[in-house]
Amino acid sequence: MPALRPVLPADAANGATLSDDRCRAYAAFFETLTPETLPGLDALVTEDVLFRDPFNDTRGAAAMRRIFTRMFAEIGDPRFHVSDFAIGGDTAFLRWRFTGRSRNRGAGAITIEGVSEIVFAGDGRVRAHIDHWDAASQVYERIAILGWVIRKVRRKLAG
């Protein structure tokens, strides 16, 4: 992971912000995530962690682990690269790129860029992980008929 520089709010001196060590540890976990390291998620998140992305909205560490277990089954060589983060209060924002190869015939390489909103509990564990990324342009447009429809709608709206 490259040297990440946290962006702290102006009132960071009041002690209300979390340390960048927690952000670095969480980012490093995802950058080195494998099926073998996935059980380590339990030490980083609360039992009732909220996980949300364009395809999932679930609660609980076990449910979050199942999402990543399914990812490993469906995506070959999945990798997260965290390029930067910012901190404000008990929340961190991680900018990342996800790459992999779909195991579906003919689907090919996958690249998704997004930002994760990570909310930390008082004990330093993650209580919410909310991924923000554009599913329409990064996934749906790659599906033959659906992609054609989305591109046509985008062109119509653009002018």
Q: Give me the pLDDT at residue 21, please.
A: 87
- Per-residue pLDDT at 35: 96
> Residue 151 has which token pair?
């591109």
Domain boundaries 12-134, CATH class:
alpha beta
* Residue type present at position 60: G
Could you tell me how far CA 81 lies from the centroid of its own chain? 10
Q: What is the pLDDT of residue 8?
A: 41
Task: Judge whether 31 and 99 are in contact, CB under 8 Å.
Answer: no
Per-residue tokens: 113: 């860029």
Predicted local distance difference test score (pLDDT) of residue 55: 84
Per-residue pLDDT of the chain (159 residues; tens, 9 = 90+): 444 444 444 434 444 456 788 889 999 999 999 999 999 999 999 999 999 988 899 999 999 999 999 999 988 999 999 999 999 889 999 999 999 988 776 567 888 899 999 999 999 999 999 999 766 555 545 555 555 455 665 676 677
Closest CA to 26 of 133, 122, 112, 117: 117
Taking only Cα atoms into account, the Rg of the chain, rounded to an integer number of angstroms, comes to: 17
* Residue 11: per-residue pLDDT: 37
